[in-house]
């Protein structure tokens, strides 16, 4: 019985020391940073005269909002792409119904309005998205990392 206990103790000690390298380690992480950061630009336009509102001021405010949204939509197209859906019905080798839809969806963080101005009956907003700023915001929120070095004890 004592030889069996000794054998079991030796096996347990061997297994524990063999696995200790998995438990006794120090991992250093580093951040992955791109080589360059592009600056994306978007321009949005909105007609002043066709905006809803009782006064010229209300129409101007609505045009400002609409042109800003259009500019941000253009940035979202550049960052996330444009989803296009199409449907075509053919009957007797003749196209009967042709439908085309486009959709843009995404979150834009860190963009700033560079210029906003009216020219004639059109209000224009220019926005810019510096991808370095987006990267910095992403790092502070998500904290992505890669293993830099692992030291085993």
Instruction: Encode the chain in three state secondary structure.
Output: CHHHHHHHHHHHHHHHHHHHHHHCEEEEEECCCCCCCCEEEEEEEEECCCCCCCCHHHHHHHHHHHHHHHHHHHHHHHHHCCEEEEEEEEECCEEEEEEEEEECCCCCCCCEEEEEEEECCEEEEEEEEEHHHHHHHHHHHHCCCEEEEEEEC
Q: What is the pLDDT of residue 149?
A: 79
* Residue 76 pLDDT greater than 60, yes or no: yes
The domain of 25 spans: 2-152
Q: What is the pTM of this model?
A: 0.66
Q: How many distinct structural domains can be found in the chain?
A: 1
- Condensed to tens digits (0 to 9), the pLDDT of residues 1-46 reads 576 666 666 666 666 655 555 567 777 777 777 789 999 999 999 9
């Amino acid at each position: 019985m004592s030889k069996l206990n000794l054998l079991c103790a030796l096996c347990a000690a061997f297994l524990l020391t063999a696995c200790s390298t998995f438990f006794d380690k120090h991992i250093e992480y580093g951040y992955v940073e791109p080589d360059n950061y592009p600056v994306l630009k978007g321009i949005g336009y909105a007609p002043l005269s066709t905006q809803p509102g009782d006064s010229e001021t209300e129409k101007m405010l609505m045009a400002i909002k609409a042109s800003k949204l259009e500019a941000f939509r253009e940035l979202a197209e550049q960052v996330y792409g444009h989803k296009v859906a199409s449907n075509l019905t053919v009957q007797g080798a003749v196209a009967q119904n042709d439908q085309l839809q486009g959709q843009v969806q995404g979150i834009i963080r860190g963009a700033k309005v560079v210029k906003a101005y009216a020219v004639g009956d059109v209000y224009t907003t220019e926005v810019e998205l510096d991808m370095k700023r987006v990267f910095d915001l992403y790092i502070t929120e998500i904290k992505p990392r890669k293993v830099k070095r692992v030291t085993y004890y």
